[in-house]
Amino acid sequence: MTERGISRREFAKSAVAIGGTAALAACLDRGSGTVPDGTDDPASLPERQHAWDESLATDDAGNHRLSRHHVLLLLEYTGDGTPSDADREQVETALRDLERAYEWSTEGLLFTLGYSPAYFDRFEADVAGVDLPEPTALAPFEDPEFDTPDALLHLASDDERVVIEAEEALEGNREAANGHEMTATFEGVLREADRRTGFVGAGLPAENQDVDGVPDSEPVPDDAPLFMGFKSGFDGNQASEDRVTVDSGPFAGGTTQHLSKIRLQLQQWYEQESQDQRVSKMFCPAHAAEDRVEGVGENLGTDSGVGECPEDVVESSRREGVAGHAQKAARARDGDSPLILRRDFDSTDGGEAGVHFLSLQQSIADFVGTKQAMNGTDVAEDSAVGQRVNNGILQYMTVRRRGNYLLPPRSLRALPPADPA
């Protein structure tokens, strides 16, 4: 504890994790250039809310690179029964205000607004053309709680000022966003039930490693984009935006979103494992034997090379005593394509190292199938590998919460009915 009674860890929190007007004022004081303005022409923006790739920056190898700062707002609809047209208009106007304020890009703001099964329960009809199940536990060894807000807003930007300011503006705590007047807010329609934050990108995990779950030796490499020390999300190992898009029915152009909150415990990861063991567990033992991964893995280019890991994971695990995370997950593919588009990021919420594992897929079943492949229950049954020990990265993570959402196409993003005409 410091003299003022704030714990050292609390004090070291990033501005985005703190949020609110004081954090924003501190960031604005620090200043760092102008933020590009958005557009007055909503038709110029993609109909898919999740169409971010074209507007994302790319890394040196050409992979799409996710924005560095993230805010997730879990929102409750404050009205009784089904939303009125006035509520819809208010939400849509507020979102258009954001699009006018900030460029649809990594330097500006990218966002999505999705809706949960609990939201759609208020309508008599079922969700048309999309299976949107309640979240469930997805492994025999996990016991998560379930998120049941009505809506989930995901804000993303390379500029921490943008995500904090956009949130403040939507909640009515600020009259303007990037100097543009807000003509509407979420006030009186959508209320914040929970707020989660995070980051991804070289340098940020090392800067934010003073949290529970990361040993005090500050082991996170300076250039690591994620706490576990490896790059993730190579273009060749992601489903495309097309692949995850709902292709028929009134929600065509939308997608489904799964959000889990994962706690990381990296003591053993960093203090008992060698870099070779970490490569074996994250990728596969063959990658370690062949020295394929240098440092955080930038040398892999645009594909993790998981295609060259032995395909029969049970057989390879019997031989090696270890199963790789990517090796197991890659069993859930449709031809050459993974089924899910990962847009996950790290977090220090609650002073704990964690991951907000946000994933997009055509149907929630695609996520469930991928998670099953990653569980490696078959590997544990048929080899000396344990259910969590030596079984990819399962030993170092605990799933705390799960939630499912539908991201409607942009034209239906404001409090949609379950069965739009």
Q: Which positions lie near ligand HEM, rule CB under 6 A?
A: 226, 228, 230, 232-234, 237, 262, 282, 304, 306, 325-326, 329-330, 333, 338, 340, 355, 357, 370-371, 374, 397
Cβ 177 to ligand HEM, closest distance in Å? 32
Q: Where are the beta strands (DSSP E) in 78-189?
A: 110-115, 145-146, 151-157, 176-177, 180-181
Cβ 210 to ligand HEM, closest distance in Å? 19
Q: Which residue is nearest to ligand HEM (CB)?
A: 237
∠ Cα 349 351 355 (to 5°): 45
- C-alpha 269/C-alpha 261 separation (Å) is 19
- C-alpha 134/C-alpha 125 separation (Å) is 16
Q: Of 69 and 263, which CB lies nearer to ligand HEM in the complex structure?
A: 263
- C-alpha 331/C-alpha 312 separation (Å) is 9
Give CA separation, 378 vs 333, 372, 383, in Å.
17, 10, 8
Cβ 211 to ligand HEM, closest distance in Å? 15
Cβ 228 to ligand HEM, closest distance in Å? 4
Asked if residue 178 lies in contact with residue 162, where contact means CB atoms within 8 angstroms, the answer is yes
Q: Of 108 and 354, which CB lies nearer to ligand HEM in the complex structure?
A: 354
Q: Of 154 and 325, which CB lies nearer to ligand HEM in the complex structure?
A: 325
For residue 318, give the H/E element and its range: helix 313-320
- C-alpha 172/C-alpha 307 separation (Å) is 49
Asked if residue 360 lies in contact with residue 341, where contact means CB atoms within 8 angstroms, the answer is yes
- C-alpha 254/C-alpha 132 separation (Å) is 12
Residue 98 phi, psi (nearest 5): -65, -40
- C-alpha 168/C-alpha 393 separation (Å) is 37
Q: Of 51 and 326, which CB lies nearer to ligand HEM in the complex structure?
A: 326
For β-strands 341-342 and 180-181, DSSP reports them as unpaired
Residue 399 phi, psi (nearest 5): -80, 120
Q: Of 187 and 298, which CB lies nearer to ligand HEM in the complex structure?
A: 298
Cβ 61 to ligand HEM, closest distance in Å? 12
Cβ 100 to ligand HEM, closest distance in Å? 35
Cβ 420 to ligand HEM, closest distance in Å? 30
Quickly count: other Cβ atoms within 10 Å of residue 263's Cβ: 18
Cβ 193 to ligand HEM, closest distance in Å? 23
- C-alpha 354/C-alpha 17 separation (Å) is 13
Q: Of 109 and 340, which CB lies nearer to ligand HEM in the complex structure?
A: 340
- For 229, the 3-state DSSP assignment is coil
Q: Of 47 and 334, which CB lies nearer to ligand HEM in the complex structure?
A: 334
Cβ 225 to ligand HEM, closest distance in Å? 9
Q: Of 374 and 415, which CB lies nearer to ligand HEM in the complex structure?
A: 374
Q: Of 88 and 333, which CB lies nearer to ligand HEM in the complex structure?
A: 333
